[in-house]
Amino acid sequence: MKKINKIAFIGMGLINSSLARDLNDLGFYNSSSAYSRTKKTRNILRKLDIVDKVEESYEKTVKGADIVIIGVPVAAFSNVIKKISPFLMKSTIITDVGSVKKSLIKSAEKYLPKNIDFIPGHPIAGTENSGPEAGFKGLFKNGYCILTPKSNIKKESLDIIIKMWNLAGMKVDIMDPEYHDMVLAITSHIPHIIAYSIVGTISSLEKSIKKEVIKYAASGFKDFTRIAASDPIMWRDILLSNKGSILEMLSIFKKDLATLEKAIRNEDSKFLYNLFSKTRLIRKKINK
Ligand code: NAP
């Protein structure tokens, strides 16, 4: 496998800054650079000292880079690809960490030079916090990273990106992008919609009730709604970029919810018991 001389990070929020922390002292690359659009984040990055160079120009960041990892909100991806494309080497491998895949692949096909290997990626790990100070070493440990590359990329490029995620502690699965977007719609995107929506319902309740809800919120409610504190820009972008799969899964979910509502209305205790027994078994398997 070829030696990585330079790695470049575009966007240094929770995900890319955690990856930089993980890879920093493993000898995977000789040098690293990071682009951040705001002065505030660049100053934080210089203090954190997790990359060799912090840049405010796309050109300086990606010039001579063997790998470029894009870690920005998904709606910003297209513009980033467009801006960095003129400065890439033929051998540069482009990858990303975005939570949706189909729409990003479309942008890459539009703007990336044809001979460049693009290996879309999605590490299934994260928290509800944002920015480089929220990142930490070990975020990816024991998780899965899904890669959705086309079949015509060089095998060596794929091996390098797999090795990178393995070094960060992740197992790697290769998947079709459409299937990825469908699976993530139900496992991640719809749970976020439900959390945002239930917290939104509380905020629209009478002032006094809202106060009591916040005061007496039991741990179940707190656990369940933790993700409603996630970054609003990031989640706006994810939901709009995966509209098709989300609407498809949402219609199945709404049908199931209506069945549950009917069972409660009809006091169908057998149905409720059977459903909750089944879901309990499924949920226990997820913990394993
Ligand atoms: P984050 O902490 O909010 O950081 C986003 C980064 O993108 C910041 O460095 C920000 O720079 C930069 N940025 C924002 N808008 C930009 C624009 N228009 N042009 C250029 N740079 C821009 O986000 P994150 O949680 O790391 O998420 C990054 C990506 O990972 C997203 O695509 C998300 O879907 C995906 N992801 C997130 C999670 C999660 O749990 N958070 C998990 C898996 C995958 P400034 O600070 O300079 O503004």
Residue 178 CB: number of other CB atoms within 10 A?
Answer: 14
Contacts of residue 17, defined as CB under 8 A and 6 or more positions apart, other chains included, come to 9, 45, 48, 50, 131, 132, 134, 135
75 C-alpha vs ligand 1 centroid, how far in Å?
10
Cβ(120) to ligand 1 under 6 A?
Answer: no
234 C-alpha vs ligand 1 centroid, how far in Å?
7
Q: Using the 8-state DSSP alphabet, how is residue 133 labeled? A: G
The secondary structure element, H or E, covering residue 220 is helix 219-225
Number of helices and strands (H, E) in the chain?
13, 9
Cβ(70) to ligand 1 under 6 A?
Answer: no
Cβ(121) to ligand 1 under 6 A?
Answer: no
The secondary structure element, H or E, covering residue 9 is strand 4-10
Our mutation pick for probing the ligand 1 site, out of 14, 45, 165, counting the most ligand atoms within 8 A of Cβ, is 14
| DSSP letter string, 261-281 | HHHHHTT-HHHHHHHHHHHHH
Q: Is the dihedral of CA 81, 82, 83, 87 positive or negative?
A: positive
71 C-alpha vs ligand 1 centroid, how far in Å?
5
20 C-alpha vs ligand 1 centroid, how far in Å?
14
Our mutation pick for probing the ligand 1 site, out of 44, 192, 230, 234, counting the most ligand atoms within 8 A of Cβ, is 234
- The reported pTM is 0.93
Residue 264 CB: number of other CB atoms within 10 A?
Answer: 11
Q: Which residues, in sequence order, are bridge partners of residue 147?
A: 121, 174
Distance CA 267, CA 50 (A): 58
Domains annotated on the chain, with CATH? 4-175 (3.40.50.720), 179-287 (1.10.3660.10)
Positions in the chain whose pLDDT score sits under 70: 288
**What pLDDT was estimated at residue 288?**
66
Cβ(135) to ligand 1 under 6 A?
Answer: no
Report which of 129, 135, 75 is spatially closest to residue 99, judged by C-alpha positions: 75
Output the CA angle 195-198-201, nearest 5 degrees: 150
SS3 of residue 8 by DSSP: strand
**What pLDDT was estimated at residue 36?**
97
**What pLDDT was estimated at residue 218?**
75
17 C-alpha vs ligand 1 centroid, how far in Å?
10
Distance CA 245, CA 171 (A): 25
Number of the ligand 1 atom closest to the C-alpha atom of 231: 3
From first CA to last CA, the distance across the chain in angstroms is 35
Report which of 9, 77, 13, 70 is spatially closest to residue 40, judged by C-alpha positions: 13
Nearest alpha carbon, ligand 1 atom 1: 13
132 C-alpha vs ligand 1 centroid, how far in Å?
9
